[in-house]
Structure 1
Amino acid sequence: MSDRIFITGGASGLGHEIALRWARTGARVCIGDLHDVRGAQVEAEIREAGGTALFVHCDVTSSADLQAVAQRLASEWGGVDIVVNNAGVATAGTLEAEPIEQWEWILNINLLGVVRGCQAFAPLLRAQQRGHIVNIASMAGLVHPPGMGSYNASKAAVVAFSETLHLELVNDNIGVSVVCPSFFQTNLVESLRSTDPKAAAGVQKLLNKGRITAAGVADSVFNAVQANQFLVLPHADDRKTFRMKSWLPRRTYLNKMRHLTRKSFPGSPAATVKEA
């Protein structure tokens, strides 16, 4: 039996590639997005790739929108097998440069959008006693460069929430994966909000330096669902970085990060970290 999958932010970027990856298996693919024109285009691409397609206008800041999708898929498809909470936006700025409104905006989408998606679909998955939730975080949720405080915090919260969710749902035969890719070339910059030109330029540098494509990350997501893998690090370099953070003394790690990020974020402090 082919999968039934719902993807937020499915009309562009990583969501688009995840939709096509599952479409090639003959899956029923529903994408939710705010962009109706792009959504209709991706809906056609899903069909061309071999899947059954459905586009719904959906805002992840609206619990009602997400609950309506869950009810529709329960009615028309008899349920859903995989839910991908992918929709997200970007911010940049140092502590002084990021207004609190920018923090509220990104947390409402990147974190609470994931929570709303899980709240809307978890009851359906529990009733089925099977399914899988994929939450798209970022390597910025595990390793936190300067000039990206609100973005880092939003993605770190998604990682923490996903671990909690895994423990809450494991006895219901529901898998949870949290995906933490590094920056890769996508349209994330379209959503970038920043009042700090230096920090915004740093984020753009990270996007331009990406060594993996959105399609490559989509392959990692597909494989993780098949393997019921919790933490997904698509980049080999990031797996090394994550081990480095886990194993190195804190002072050594922070000083190394200072050197690694000073070119991308030239305005960040240059002080050496000392143990308290």
Structure 2
Amino acid sequence: AGSGIGQQLALLLAKAGCHVSLSDVNEQGLAKTVELLQGTNVRVTTKKLDVSDRLAMQAWAEETVQNHGSVNMIFNNAGVALGSTVEGASYEELEWIVGINFWGVVYGTKEFLPYIKKTGDGHIINISSLFGLTAQPTQSAYNATKF
């Protein structure tokens, strides 16, 4: 939620009166989003978070419920790109993109789903990409994680 779609979602949700628990790997971006949310009269909590870290995601879900009481919606929005062929990419680069784009969605969904189910009414929104529908030669890893 430190920039781009995540930041805009935070602003729109707050404008609609939703309390928000925001995360990003970029603390400066999160601080900017909090600044933009001033005056919205909603509860805002933030956490520097690497979505590819399962235990960190588990802790964040618990903290969110402690801070907000319940969870009604989550947006799995974190994503990164890697402009390379599979042959040209290192194993570390491939693990990095899969960790964020694939496992981040899995961890976010699995960790927050029990809390959403407790409310009896909730939504999980997974943001993907056009490249999840069409393949590009130098976006092999990205295509695979967004399909």
Deviations 1:124-182 (A, max 9, x none): 112222210011110100111221100000101xxxxxxxxxxxxxxxxxxxxxxxxxx
**1:132-147 alignment to 2 at 5 Å?**
132-147=123-138
CA contact (8 A) 1:34 1:59 kept: yes
Aligned residue runs from structure 1 range 194-233, under 5 A: none
The yes-or-no answer on 1:42 pairing with 2:12 is no
What is the CA–CA distance in structure 1 between the aligned matches of 2:126 and 2:138, rounded to whole Å?
24
Cα distance in 1, alignment partners of residues 30 and 5 from structure 2? 13
- The answer for the alignment partner of 1:148 in structure 2 is 139
Distance 1:94 1:76, change over 3 A: closer
For 1:199, the equivalent position in structure 2 comes to none
TM-score (norm 1): 0.51
Task: Choose the corresponding residue for 2:50, options 54, 59, 64.
Answer: 59
- SS of the counterpart of 2:2? coil
Distance 2:140 2:63 in 1: 37
Change (3 A) 1:147 1:126: same
Q: Which amino acid in the other structure matches residue 111 of structure 1?
A: F
Q: What are the equivalent positions in structure 2 for 1:106-185 lying under 5 Å apart?
A: 106-156=97-147
Structure showing greater Rg: 1
Q: What's the % identity of the aligned pairs?
A: 34
Contact 1:25-1:50 within 8 A present in 2 as well: no
Q: Give the Cα–Cα distance (whole angstroms) in 2 for the partners of residues 97 and 72 of structure 1.
A: 40
Shift of 1:76: 2.5
- For 2:21 and 2:37, the matched residues in 1 are separated by 9
- Contact 1:47 1:53 (C-alpha < 8 Å) held by counterparts: no
Tell me how far apart the structure 1 counterparts of residues 40 and 134 of structure 2 sit (CA, whole Å): 36
Q: Is the 8 A contact 1:25 1:51 kept in 2?
A: no
Q: Say whether the 8 Å CA contact 1:28–1:52 is kept in structure 2.
A: yes
1:56/1:98 CA distance change after superposition, 3 Å: same
How far 1:49 moved relative to its partner? 4.2
CA distance in 2: counterparts of 1:147 and 1:57, whole angstroms: 30
User: Deviations along 1:59-98, whole A, 9 cap, x unmatched?
Assistant: 1122222222221222222111110111111101123322
Amino acid in structure 2 at the alignment position of 1:98: A
Determine the C-alpha separation between the residues in 2 that align with 1:94 and 1:26.
Answer: 44
What TM-score, normalized to structure 2? Answer: 0.91
* Greater RCO (CA < 8 Å, at least 6 residues apart): 2
Q: Which amino acid aligns with 2:16?
A: T
- After TM superposition, the runs of 4+ consecutive aligned structure 1 residues lying more than 6 A away are none
Which residue does 1:11 correspond to in 2? 2
Residue 84 of structure 1 aligns with which residue? 75
Report if the CA contact (8 A) 1:44-1:53 is conserved.
Answer: no
- How many residues are paired up? 147
- In 2, the alpha carbon distance for the partners of 1:99 and 1:62 equals 20
Q: CA RMSD in A?
A: 1.5
Task: In structure 1, give the amino acid aligned to 2:122.
Answer: G
Q: Structure 1: how far apart are the matches of 2:132 and 2:27?
A: 30
| Offset of residue 50 of structure 1 | 4.7
Q: Within 1, Cα distance between the matches of 2:46 and 2:64?
A: 12
2:12 corresponds to 1:21: yes
